[in-house]
């Protein structure tokens, strides 16, 4: 397998917009071997709206790094590896970016295909408003809200710490590969981890709410991360169906 370089940078701003979704509907949208993780009887899907700065191969100075706005549609999942051990992470059916470079080299230098998109961002003090419109018209996301210190009262998470731990477990993501029946793996390795709740005024997602893919979708919560030094590290792809001689776990 061709090894992509370890990429280092700074998460300047990351908003995790999260929805409660019927697990059966999520399962219908997931390829094998993934299945939805549940919290309080709900599956969890969402969008990561992330601005990356100083992005460059590990070992290069920060001043040569690039900056971009990015969006990843995510579903919290688990799966069993070839030894029968249950793993957790996220399945990412779609990635969008403002970066022409990432769009051009997605899947070769950056794990998985990226679609080109336009991002409109308004940030003032502790208030954030981000809109993403993909060039192909297939994806649109909008969120507006302000920093707070509590989660919504109807969130599936009982505390900020519980939500933080859940999403930290989703650092390993898999996306469809150019190779049929293969999923590219990439892990977000942060050198610190801190999330802050956001009180959301408006939220919309074409993928989760507008195209009829899911009927039972409710906004759950949004979390903010800022100024996080990190690396993106390639992980072994998942091939499914598994190669001959390797049987899937029951």
SS3 state at 84: coil
Please report, in angstroms and rounded to a whole number, the separation of the first and last CA atoms in the chain: 28
Place of tokens 């942060």: 190
pLDDT reported for residue 11 = 96
DSSP state of 81: -
List the chain domain ranges: 7-239
Output the pLDDT for position 211. 73
pLDDT score for 242? 63
Asked if CATH classification 3.40.190.100 holds for the domain at 7-239, the reply, yes or no, is no
pLDDT tens digits in sequence order for the chain, 250 residues long: 456 678 999 999 999 999 999 999 999 999 999 999 999 999 999 999 999 999 888 888 888 888 999 999 999 999 998 888 999 999 999 999 988 766 655 544 445 688 899 999 999 999 999 999 999 999 999 999 999 999 999 999 999 999 999 999 999 999 988 777 789 999 999 999 999 999 999 999 999 987 778 988 999 999 999 999 999 998 988 988 765 433 333 3
Q: Is 161 helix (H, G, I), strand (E, B) or coil?
A: helix
Residues with Cβ within 8 Å of residue 236, at least 6 apart in sequence: 1, 185
């Amino acid at each position: 397998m061709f090894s992509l370089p370890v990429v280092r940078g700074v998460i300047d701003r990351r908003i995790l917009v999260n929805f409660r979704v019927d697990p059966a509907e999520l399962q219908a949208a997931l390829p094998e071997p993934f299945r939805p993780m549940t919290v309080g009887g709900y599956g969890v899907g969402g969008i990561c709206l992330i601005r990356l700065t100083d992005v460059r191969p590990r070992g290069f100075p920060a001043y040569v790094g690039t900056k971009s706005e990015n969006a990843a549609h995510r579903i919290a999942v688990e799966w069993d590896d070839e030894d029968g051990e249950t793993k957790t992470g996220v399945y990412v059916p779609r990635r969008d970016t403002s970066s022409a470079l990432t769009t051009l080299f997605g899947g070769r230098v950056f794990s998985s295909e990226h679609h080109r998109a336009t991002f409109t961002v308004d940030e003032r003090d502790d208030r954030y408003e981000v809109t993403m419109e993909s060039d192909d018209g297939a994806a649109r996301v909008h969120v507006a809200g302000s920093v707070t210190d509590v989660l919504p009262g109807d969130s599936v998470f009982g505390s900020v710490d519980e939500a933080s731990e859940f999403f930290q477990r989703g650092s390993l993501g898999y996306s469809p590969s150019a190779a049929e029946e293969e999923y590219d793996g990439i892990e977000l390795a942060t050198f610190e981890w801190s999330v802050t709740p956001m009180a959301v005024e408006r939220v919309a997602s074409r993928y989760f709410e507008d195209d009829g893919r899911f009927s039972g979708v409710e906004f759950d919560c949004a979390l903010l991360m800022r100024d996080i030094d990190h690396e993106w590290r390639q992980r072994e792809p998942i091939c499914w169906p598994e190669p001959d001689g390797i049987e899937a776990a029951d």
